[in-house]
């Protein structure tokens, strides 16, 4: 294999934050094997059957339909000693980040994975996967081959996907829902919570690597992609699905890396230094990640970086005027999130994607004062796969939820 191709595949893994700098060096010595792993697809089974039930947990598969016709996968998980039919713990919805899906919450051991930990603590765990990911189920009329299928960004993921998940869980349990989001899952959560009809269904939210503004990110790789206008080039090429397991995806990442970014230390270049990554589970991680997203979604995220705004998708002056009735896209007003809605925000000192300057911008716009958890050594992906997450992150989140869970448990 050419060295450039091997480097491109390394980039794939780093885009979802699943490798350390040390692992990257090891992979460089055995690039052919890594290429095989990185391009491997998991058997076409359900998330329950493939990842959750083998660990001894009860799990059921559900499908819900959004208002714009997408069919989303939703899993419900209880503890190894529990029964889904009699599950009465407070409901909690786990919302994954970019290029991930619901499997992200179960990739470590049961003692280290938040989905398993919450189930063992008696919570009624619901796991969401947004449109386009492999655990969701398409659309009522569109095929994944249709460009219209991919005509969405995190705006729709927030206002349609996440909102519908919350409504469904609330209607099923007749109880307010706890929400946990990571990375893009926090963008979706914050946007959705500005909608009064959604906020009133949520008991409290825990946001890992919270993002509403991206103006001050320091990720060298992400900034290089922004400066190269990779998002705009992809759209101009007529590419609507971003699938970094595909041949063109590998080639695209290769071209970004070639001569522009030090691809021997991409974890630091993309996410910041992660302290607590489980090196031994790389093969398993790469069985599941990355999941597809839309080119429009990437473009929307890059708009946030370039403009420093937390706004709806910018179509340009004329289409904005037609769709929004104004020249600029409307902003999501964080002050609309109710002051009474409890928030926990967990940040990492080494996170180059969720920058502290942008985080403080978010705090200034909120009416409430969130509970803050600052983990100095954590990078962006430690919040999902840290081997120390139980003590550092999961236990504080559980204490936070229980302190606000009176109405859910009544």
Question: Is the model more confident about 4 or about 117?
Answer: 117
DSSP string, 258-294: TTTS-TTSHHHHHH---S-B-GGGHHHHHHH-PPPEE
What's the mean pLDDT in 256-264?
A: 52
Is the pLDDT score of 251 beyond 70?
no
Q: Read off φ and ψ for residue 315, nearest 5 degrees.
A: -90, -5
pLDDT at 40: 42
What's the mean pLDDT in 368-389?
A: 95
Averaged confidence pLDDT in the chain: 85
* Side-chain-facing half-sphere of 34: CA atoms under 13 Å: 25
C-alpha triplet 13, 288, 205: angle, nearest 5°: 90
* Side-chain-facing half-sphere of 63: CA atoms under 13 Å: 12
What's the mean pLDDT in 118-139?
A: 96
Question: Is the model more confident about 27 or about 299?
Answer: 299
Question: Is the model more confident about 32 or about 84?
Answer: 84
pLDDT at 353: 95
- Weakest mean pLDDT among 75-89, 149-163, 316-330: 75-89
Question: Is the model more confident about 36 or about 393?
Answer: 393
The answer for residues whose C-beta is within 8 angstroms of residue 142's C-beta and 6 or more apart is: 69, 148, 149
Which burial class, exposed, middle or buried, applies to 388 when counting CB atoms under 10 A from its CB (0-12, 13-18, 19+)?
middle
Residues 31-46 have pLDDT tens digits of 333 333 334 444 457 9
pLDDT at 240: 95
pLDDT band at 258 (very low <50, low <70, confident <90, very high): low
Question: Is the model more confident about 42 or about 197?
Answer: 197
pLDDT at 260: 54
Question: Is the model more confident about 324 or about 81?
Answer: 324
Residue 244, H or E segment: none
pLDDT at 17: 35
Is residue 116 within 8 Å of residue 106, measured between CB atoms?
yes
Question: How far is 323 from 315, CA to CA, in rounded Å?
Answer: 9
Peptide bond into 290 cis (omega under 30): yes
The encoded tokens of residue 17 equal 């934050």
pLDDT at 7: 37
Strand partners, 317: none
Is residue 342 within 8 Å of residue 397, measured between CB atoms?
no
3-class DSSP state of 80: coil
What's the mean pLDDT in 379-404?
A: 95
What's the mean pLDDT in 125-152?
A: 97
Is residue 100 within 8 Å of residue 54, measured between CB atoms?
no
State the residue for tokens 């990375």.
Answer: 183
Question: How far is 405 from 410, CA to CA, in rounded Å?
Answer: 8
Strand partners, 354: none
pLDDT at 285: 80
Is the pLDDT score of 160 beyond 90?
yes
What is the number of H-type helices and E-type strands within the chain? 21, 10
Is the pLDDT score of 333 beyond 60?
yes
Is the pLDDT score of 9 beyond 60?
no
Identify the structural domains of the chain with CATH numbers, from first to last.
47-405 (3.40.50.1820)
Is the pLDDT score of 71 beyond 50?
yes
327 conformational bin, left if phi > 0, alpha if psi -120 to 50, beta if neither: alpha
Which burial class, exposed, middle or buried, applies to 377 when counting CB atoms under 10 A from its CB (0-12, 13-18, 19+)?
middle
pLDDT at 79: 84
pLDDT band at 10 (very low <50, low <70, confident <90, very high): very low
- What is the chain's length? 410
- Pairing between β-strand 177-182 and β-strand 202-208 as defined by DSSP bridges: parallel
| Among the listed residues 218, 228, 269, the one whose alpha carbon sits nearest the alpha carbon of residue 252 | 228
Question: Is the model more confident about 116 or about 21?
Answer: 116
Is the pLDDT score of 256 beyond 80?
no
| Among the listed residues 121, 156, 199, the one whose alpha carbon sits nearest the alpha carbon of residue 401 | 121
Is the pLDDT score of 252 beyond 90?
no
DSSP string, 155-174: HHIIIIIIHHHHHHHHHHHT
Is residue 120 within 8 Å of residue 87, measured between CB atoms?
no
Is the pLDDT score of 188 beyond 60?
yes
Question: How far is 221 from 234, CA to CA, in rounded Å?
Answer: 17
- Weakest mean pLDDT among 50-59, 89-98, 240-249, 367-376: 240-249
What's the mean pLDDT in 96-107?
A: 96
User: Which residues carry out catalysis?
Assistant: 183, 351, 380
How far does CA 110 lie from the centroid of its chain?
20
Residue 16, H or E segment: none
pLDDT at 409: 43
pLDDT at 187: 98
For residue 140, give the DSSP letter: S
What's the mean pLDDT in 373-387?
A: 95
pLDDT at 15: 41
């Amino acid at each position: 294999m050419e060295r450039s191709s091997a480097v491109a595949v390394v980039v794939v893994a780093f885009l979802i934050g699943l490798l350390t700098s040390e692992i990257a060096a090891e992979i460089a010595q055995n690039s052919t094997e890594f290429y095989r792993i990185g391009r491997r697809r998991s058997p076409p089974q359900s998330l329950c059957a493939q990842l959750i039930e083998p660990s001894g947990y009860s799990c059921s598969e559900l499908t819900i339909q959004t208002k714009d016709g997408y069919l989303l996968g939703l899993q419900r998980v209880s503890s190894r000693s529990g029964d889904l039919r009699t599950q009465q713990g407070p409901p909690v919805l786990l919302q994954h980040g970019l290029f991930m899906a619901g499997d992200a919450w179960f990739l470590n051991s049961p003692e280290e994975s938040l989905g398993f930990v919450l189930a063992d603590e008696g919570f009624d765990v619901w796991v969401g996967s947004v449109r386009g990911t492999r655990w969701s189920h398409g659309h009522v009329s569109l095929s994944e081959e249709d460009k219209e299928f991919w005509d969405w960004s995190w705006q729709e993921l927030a206002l349609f996907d996440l909102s519908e998940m919350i409504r469904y869980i609330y209607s099923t349990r007749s109880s307010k829902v706890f929400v946990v989001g990571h990375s893009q899952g926090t963008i979706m959560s914050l946007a959705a919570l500005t909608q009064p009809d959604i906020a009133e269904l949520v008991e409290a939210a825990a946001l890992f690597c919270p993002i509403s503004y991206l103006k001050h990110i320091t990720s060298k790789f992400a900034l290089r992609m922004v400066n190269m206008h990779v998002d705009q080039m992809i759209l101009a090429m007529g590419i609507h699905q971003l699938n970094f397991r595909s041949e063109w995806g590998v080639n695209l990442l290769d071209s970004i890396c070639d001569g522009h970014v030090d691809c021997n230390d991409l974890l630091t270049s993309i996410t910041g230094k992660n302290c607590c990554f489980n090196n031994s589970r790389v093969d398993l991680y790469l069985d599941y990640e990355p999941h597809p997203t839309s080119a429009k979604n990437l473009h929307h995220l890059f708009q946030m970086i370039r403009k420093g705004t937390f706004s709806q998708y910018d179509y340009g002056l004329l289409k904005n005027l037609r769709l929004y009735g104004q020249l600029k896209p409307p902003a999501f007003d964080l002050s609309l999130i109710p002051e009474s809605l409890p928030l926990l925000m967990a940040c990492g000192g080494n996170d180059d994607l969720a920058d502290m300057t942008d985080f403080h911008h978010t705090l200034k716009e909120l009416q409430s004062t969130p509970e803050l958890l600052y983990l100095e050594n954590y990078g962006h992906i430690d919040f999902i796969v840290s081997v120390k997450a139980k003590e550092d992150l999961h236990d504080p989140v559980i204490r936070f939820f229980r302190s606000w869970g009176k109405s859910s448990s009544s």
